[in-house]
Amino acid sequence: MIHTLVIVAGISVTLKNYSLFGNHMQSSDLISEMITYQGADDLKIAAYMARPKTQERRPAVIVIHEIWGLVDHIKDVANRFAREGYVALAPDLYSESKELSSVLTAENIRSAWSFMQTLPVNKRADMNFVHTELAKQAVEKRAVIEKVMAVLFAGGLPRDRLLKHLVKAVDYLNSSPFVLQGKIGSVGFCFGGGMSINLACNAETSACIIYYGENPNPIDLIQNIRCPVLGIYGGEDDRINSNLDKLVAAFIKYKKTDFEIKVYPGAPHAFFNDTNRTTYREEAAKDAWRRTLEFFSRTLTN
């Protein structure tokens, strides 16, 4: 059956038990640590890993961060998956080189993020407006924010190379003694949502979830996908949603029959991020999490 665009309204959230262990695990039942794995071009990639304390092989989920990098929110999402019984790996893609890591420090990213939070949600993609507001900042602070934004929003990210690091993350997990080989999914948010669908286009994964991410470019890369896909979007996210029709058309064109797209009316971009007071929408986020767990239960554990 082909699932097409679905608008979710009148949400009623019932959190069924999709835990692999039958009960949600406690933090004391987990192993969580920063690790490194071999990325593309022999580069070392730092990553946060959370997994159950068990010798049994478990399915794995690659958690791909927003444009703001591997922040505490993404680590928390990884912990949530681990409590459900998955091995969760959240790569810090910006750790791949000193060129990126020296600019995209936690402090610098926080400064840029804090500035963006002062802007109206519907103006954050308007670069003319952003630069006008940025000019009002103190000189030193403005210099830091401009440097970060040049990398994040003006073509400074080596996206093709970062994608290769994610492909290597699949290889790393498949070779890990605590991972069920061939049962690896991905989920990404914002920038990470686009990387998640691109990963499915370029690697052998068993499931892909997109949270309000950009389409693959070119869209015909969709023909390479061999796994089920779940796309989750906010109804007020005009920039991302303007291309959803192309995504659906590509799935149909290339006969990708296991896909589903959910759009939450009234929800903006980044509605799942519960650390973002201006965009977080609790009801939509809870329902999206339920769908996420249900989707991975179907695709990674059966």
**Cβ neighbours, 10 Å, residue 283:** 14
User: Mean pLDDT over residues 37-41, rounded?
Assistant: 96
Active-site residue, selected from the candidate residues 65, 92, 165, 190? 190
C-beta of residue 229 within 8 angstroms of C-beta of residue 200: yes
To the query of whether residue 237 is one of the catalytic residues in this protein, the response is: yes
Q: Rounded to 5 degrees, what are φ and ψ at 213? A: -110, 160
Active-site residue, selected from the candidate residues 92, 227, 269, 287? 269
To the query of whether residue 269 is one of the catalytic residues in this protein, the response is: yes
Question: Structural domain boundaries of the chain?
Answer: 5-97+158-300, 98-153
Report how far residue 149's alpha carbon sits from residue 145's, in angstroms, rounded to the nearest whole number.
6
Looking at the chain, the number of H-run helices and the number of E-run strands are 10, 9
User: Mean pLDDT over residues 85-89, rounded?
Assistant: 97
Report how far residue 185's alpha carbon sits from residue 215's, in angstroms, rounded to the nearest whole number.
18
To the query of whether residue 190 is one of the catalytic residues in this protein, the response is: yes
Q: Which CATH number fits domain 5-97+158-300: 3.40.50.1820, 3.40.1360.10, 3.40.50.300, 2.40.50.140?
A: 3.40.50.1820
Report how far residue 113's alpha carbon sits from residue 106's, in angstroms, rounded to the nearest whole number.
10
Reported in sequence order, the residue ranges of 168-285 that DSSP labels E, i.e. its strands, are: 179-189, 207-211, 229-234, 259-264
Q: For 174-222, how does the pLDDT look when each residue is reduced to its tens digit (9 = 90+)?
A: 999 999 999 999 999 999 999 999 999 999 999 999 999 999 999 999 9
Tell me whether the omega of the peptide bond preceding residue 59 falls within 30 degrees of 0, making it cis: no
Q: For 257-279, how does the pLDDT look when each residue is reduced to its tens digit (9 = 90+)?
A: 999 999 999 999 999 999 998 89
Q: For 56-81, how does the pLDDT look when each residue is reduced to its tens digit (9 = 90+)?
A: 999 999 999 999 999 999 999 999 99
Report how far residue 45's alpha carbon sits from residue 70's, in angstroms, rounded to the nearest whole number.
12
Confidence of residue 23 (pLDDT cuts 50, 70, 90): low
Active-site residue, selected from the candidate residues 92, 201, 208, 237? 237
Percentage of the chain lying above the pLDDT 90 cut: 77
